[in-house]
Amino acid sequence: MRGVTAQVICAAMLGGDEYPSTAIGINLPNADWIRAEYGSKSITISNITDAYNKASRHSGFMEEFVIDAPTLQLIRQYGDCCDDLHTDLHECLGHGSGQMLPTTPSNALKAYGNTIEEARADLFGLYYIADEKLVELGHTPNQEAYKSQYYTYMQNGLLTQCVRIKLGEDIEEDHMRNRALIANWAVALDANHEVVDIVEHGNKHFIAIKDYAKLREIFAFQLKEIQRIKSEGDFEQARWLVEKYAIHIDKALHQEMLERYQRLNISPYKGFINPWMKPVYGETGQIVDITIDYTESYTHQMMRYSSEF
């Protein structure tokens, strides 16, 4: 089917490369020309996202890294809803939008292409999540909710995502590079420190967002520029942005984040244990039902799979 389709599904169990750790969504195809000619499909796995959200609620993570009680309240109230919405905007409309100049070859940005494309999709989501139309359509509850996403996005890109990286190492993964790119570049664009800043309270660093409406204007500027780079295949500018903002981590901040994160004793990546699906047989040996057992341990599951398959 031509066009953009988006579906929300619940995973019954995970397998292959997506087990025990899994993506929260799938968006295909990758090739721009196939998207332009035939369209794209997105799938979001909602029970996985929901499980991540619920697991993170009691980890103490937000309490440690969010700057103050009102911001924390904003995130508790709207964070899950806006995060899901941002993912959907990123996948369906972000990756699904944008035109290339007919003369631009699809690999013009070479090694920087993936980071630029992820940044384009994220910026699309960041800009449009604050649109009044989304309130009108009932996707966001009010005109305040998007601020939760702006805060957690900047906090992640500027500070906390580096807890997944060893001290002294660079950012390698495209999604992480894109978040660092957007966040660091936004701070640089805010030359007078009127919009967003990294501030220090009692030897700890936090993100302070002073003007959400102006931050949206910065995202709009970035989206326009990233789209231009992609459409025109401006390799030099892509290289400059990625090399300047997306790769390097401030060593002192990195160390502080790792120490604060370590004290919380939570893992940077999470995995899942599948339910044990046990068939119930009828009188003639046919399967009449499947019971779902959640009591199996991870070790037991791994050992069982290796003997059964």
Q: Give the interface with Zn ion as residue ranges (CB under 5 A).
A: 118, 121
- Phi and psi dihedrals of 269, rounded to 5? -125, 150
DSSP state of 284: T
Name which of 175 and 239 has its Cβ closer to Zn ion.
175
Name which of 121 and 246 has its Cβ closer to Zn ion.
121
> Taking the mean position of all CA atoms in its chain, how far away is CA 140?
18
C-alpha distances in Å from residue 196, one per residue of 70, 88, 191, 244: 17, 25, 10, 19
Cis peptide before 29 (omega within 30 of 0): yes
Name which of 117 and 254 has its Cβ closer to Zn ion.
117
Name which of 88 and 118 has its Cβ closer to Zn ion.
118
Token pair, residue 172, equals 């390698």
Cβ 146 vs Cβ 130: under 8 Å:
yes
Report long-range pairs for 238-245 (Cβ below 8 Å, ≥24 apart): 238/109, 238/112, 238/113, 238/115, 238/116, 239/112, 241/116, 241/181, 241/185, 242/112, 242/115, 242/116, 242/177, 242/181, 244/184, 244/185, 245/180, 245/181, 245/184, 245/185, 245/188
Name which of 27 and 152 has its Cβ closer to Zn ion.
27
Minimum separation from the CB atom of position 276 to Zn ion (A): 33
Q: Would you call 204 helix, strand, or coil by DSSP?
A: strand
Minimum separation from the CB atom of position 35 to Zn ion (A): 13
Name which of 120 and 254 has its Cβ closer to Zn ion.
120
Q: For residues 89, 226, 142 and 211, what is the CA-based torsion angle, rounded to 10 degrees?
A: 150
Minimum separation from the CB atom of position 36 to Zn ion (A): 17
User: Using CA atoms, how far apart are residues 294 and 309, in angstroms rounded to an integer?
Assistant: 20
Minimum separation from the CB atom of position 175 to Zn ion (A): 7
Minimum separation from the CB atom of position 183 to Zn ion (A): 16
Task: Give the type of residue at 291.
Answer: T
Minimum separation from the CB atom of position 95 to Zn ion (A): 6
CB atoms under 10 Å from CB of 19, counted, come to 16
Minimum separation from the CB atom of position 87 to Zn ion (A): 9
Name which of 82 and 273 has its Cβ closer to Zn ion.
82
User: Using CA atoms, how far apart are residues 33 and 39, in angstroms rounded to an integer?
Assistant: 9
Name which of 96 and 205 has its Cβ closer to Zn ion.
96
Name which of 23 and 302 has its Cβ closer to Zn ion.
23
Token pair, residue 75, equals 């995130």
Minimum separation from the CB atom of position 62 to Zn ion (A): 24
Minimum separation from the CB atom of position 16 to Zn ion (A): 20
